[in-house]
Amino acid sequence: MENAAPPPAPSGSPSEDERQWAMFAHLSALLGGLLTGAVGGWGCFLGPLVIWLMKKDTMPFVDEQGKEALNFNITIAIAMVVLVVFSIVTLGIGALIAVPLMVIIGIGALVLIIMASIKAKDGISYRYPMTIRLIK
């Protein structure tokens, strides 16, 4: 018996491939954050950006979820950069406030990214809370 291609996804629901790439768009933020963690994790938007740019024209679900992941992680990067600048401008005294806030934001982002990844893998659109939507 020859290997048959998997049946196409029903109309309106993302294919398994789309769901997997959408999940990668969300999870790739963790890799970018880890690679730039020493400076506040500002690179968390790089993974979602690359995946979104690669797949936006061919996979509608990845286009939608990639933009969502990208917008959320740009928001996180902005928050982290602002906190680092705040610490520098206050000659380190602001770090007493900035460092705990960075930890709280980092843990919150981790939880939301994992939730979004699970939803994307299930083919459900996820919308991050408290996100500046720069990419439309």
Give the per-residue pLDDT at 41.
62
- Domain boundaries in the chain? 16-121
Burial of 130 (0-12, 13-18, 19+ CB in 10 A): exposed
**Local confidence pLDDT in tens for the 136 residues of the chain:** 444 444 444 457 899 999 999 999 999 998 887 877 666 566 788 889 999 999 999 999 999 999 999 999 999 889 988 999 999 999 989 999 999 999 999 899 999 999 999 999 999 999 999 999 998 8
List pLDDT tens digits, range 57-68. 999 999 999 999
Nearest by Cα to 109 from 55, 40, 19, 38: 40
Distance of alpha carbon 36 from alpha carbon 81, whole angstroms: 12
